[in-house]
């Protein structure tokens, strides 16, 4: 049985998720911890619950979602996993951090494994399926668990909104089509754990999201 712990980190208020099961193996999705207090909060949760991180996953590689990747690499020797189409964003990480009033004293770790459409990410007795939904960024991916009926959407889909498409390499039409054709075909009761803000469901967004009226 998968359990999910949500943290809200950094000035951009990114949702970071620790996802684990009865084996105590876990994955960390979008490690956004920035301050020393945030880093300690994440580490304390992992240690107090005897969790063993085996994967660091990124829904995409915008700076606010990767700030904790260095910490997890240094602590657990885990390189992040993401879609190859977002690789170019790592090269711009320092610039984007500065533009947002944040500083990086170290470059973010390189991608250790590329994740593509329909890949299966395994940890413990559990698994997540990769769904590629570009538009917010070229490499935006969603992690879906069919058995327990939830997904981690990153910045693809929000409660009452969608991800920004005015950032470098964003594409509005591509994002809208991807949501319609890959996410809205899932059951209405699938829980959507978003990259920012509150969770929602596929059904709620199909019926009330203003971008799909």
Q: What are phi and psi of 46, to 5 degrees?
A: -60, -45
Q: What is the reported pLDDT for 39? A: 97
5 forms beta bridges with: 18
Q: What per-residue string of b and e applies to 9-31 under the rule 16 or more CB within 10 Å gives b? A: bbebebbbbbbbeeeebbbbbbb
Q: What is the reported pLDDT for 102? A: 74
Asked if residues 67 and 10 have their Cβ atoms less than 8 Å apart, the reply is yes
- Which tokens is 180 given? 């319609």
Measure the CA–CA gap between 209 and 81, rounded to whole angstroms: 30
pLDDT in tens, the chain (213 residues): 999 999 999 999 999 999 999 999 999 999 999 999 999 999 999 999 999 999 999 999 999 999 999 999 999 999 999 999 999 998 877 667 776 677 776 778 999 999 999 999 999 999 999 999 999 999 999 999 999 999 999 999 999 999 999 987 999 999 999 999 999 999 999 999 999 999 999 999 999 999 998
Residue numbers of the domain that contains 90: 3-212
Beta-carbon-side half-sphere exposure of residue 52 (alpha carbons within 13 Å): 7
- What region, left, alpha or beta, does residue 24 occupy, with left being phi > 0 and alpha being psi -120 to 50 degrees? left
Measure the CA–CA gap between 144 and 119, rounded to whole angstroms: 11
- Which tokens is 201 given? 């469901």
- The pTM assigned to this predicted structure is 0.97
Residue 43, SS3? helix
Burial class (CB in 10 A: 0-12, 13-18, 19+), 44: exposed
Instruction: Give the closest residue to 212 by CA, choosing from 181, 167, 166.
Output: 181
CATH number, position 98:
3.60.15.10
Please give the tally of structural domains in the chain: 1
- Which tokens is 56 given? 């660091």
Q: What is the reported pLDDT for 154? A: 98
């Amino acid at each position: 049985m998968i359990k999910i712990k949500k943290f809200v980190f950094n000035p951009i208020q990114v949702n970071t998720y620790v996802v684990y099961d009865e084996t105590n193996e876990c994955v960390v999705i979008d490690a956004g911890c920035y301050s020393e207090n945030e880093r300690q909060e994440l580490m304390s949760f992992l240690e107090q619950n005897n969790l063993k991180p085996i994967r660091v996953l990124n829904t995409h590689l915008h700076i606010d979602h990767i700030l904790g990747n260095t910490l997890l690499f240094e602590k657990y020797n885990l390189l992040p996993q993401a879609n190859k189409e977002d690789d170019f964003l790592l090269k711009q990480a320092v610039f984007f951090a500065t533009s947002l009033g944040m500083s990086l004293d170290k470059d973010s770790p390189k991608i250790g494994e590329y994740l593509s459409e329909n890949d299966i990410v395994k940890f413990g007795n559990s698994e997540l399926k990769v769904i590629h939904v570009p538009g917010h960024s070229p490499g935006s991916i969603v992690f879906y668990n069919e058995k327990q009926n939830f997904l981690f959407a990153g910045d693809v889909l929000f409660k009452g909104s969608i991800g920004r498409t005015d950032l470098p390499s964003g594409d509005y039409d591509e994002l809208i089509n991807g949501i319609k054709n890959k996410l809205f075909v899932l059951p209405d009761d699938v829980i959507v754990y978003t990259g920012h803000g509150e969770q929602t469901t596929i059904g709620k967004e199909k019926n009330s999201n203003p971008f799909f009226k």
